Amino acid sequence: MLIEKIKKLKKEIIEYAAHVEAMIAKSIRGLQTKDMAMLKEVIEVDEPIANEFELRMDKHCTTTIAQYQPTAGDLRTILMILKMGNDLERMGDTAVNISKSAIFLIERPEIRAKGVNVAKLAEASIGMLKDSINSFINEDVDLAKIVCARDDLVDIYRDDTLKNLIAFIGEEPATVERSLHMMNICRKLERVADLSTNLCEDVIFMVEGKVIKHSKGLG
């Protein structure tokens, strides 16, 4: 019976992750296409669904622990799913934050700063999220470690973009408010990468029982 419960928990968390991944992708697509309705959908429709997912996952995980008192690998798996739900909820909040900045930006003249490539940063961050979920589904520790290592590349993309935006503000002071919103989007995308790294650390803990902090000691 416990095995069936864990299978159900895994199915639910995968559905939750797919929903959050879609939220993040939609927030970026709404910015790129200047689709106000899409951005508002993330805030008004998708976020409440994500919050419901998180509450349901929390309840189901804690109930399962109390009812079955799992040990060893089963307990690690349930604890991992519980923490994963919390991280996904934070990613959902990030998608909302991106959407709010995107709404501000699409109502104003576009920022045309050299070296600012939000699409590249978004692709890298969302790619990390996709692969972190795949590592969980397949209990693939090798993939989890690769995703953790890719966080450094996202940091580089973020730092380069922020540096170029700061330089652009110096050249075009009138763009400061728009540039700050663009910086916020870049930071939030980097946060998605950080949280995806957290998920992969949890996969490693679930499968191997090892506590790993970020990309250190993954060799």
CA distance 140 to 204: 8
Q: Supply the pTM of this predicted model.
A: 0.91
At residue 83's C-alpha, the angle toward residues 77 and 87, to 5°, is 135
The two tokens of residue 38 are 């899409």
Furthest CA-CA distance within the chain: 64
pLDDT > 70 fraction of the chain, expressed in percent and rounded: 97
Confidence of residue 73 (pLDDT cuts 50, 70, 90): confident
pLDDT > 90 fraction of the chain, expressed in percent and rounded: 84
* Average pLDDT in the chain: 92
| Structural domains present in the chain | 2-208 (1.20.58.220)
> What is the DSSP code string of 46-99?
IHHHHHHHHHHHHHHHHHHHHHH---HHHHHHHHHHHHHHHHHHHHHHHHHHHH
- Residue 213: the pLDDT is 66
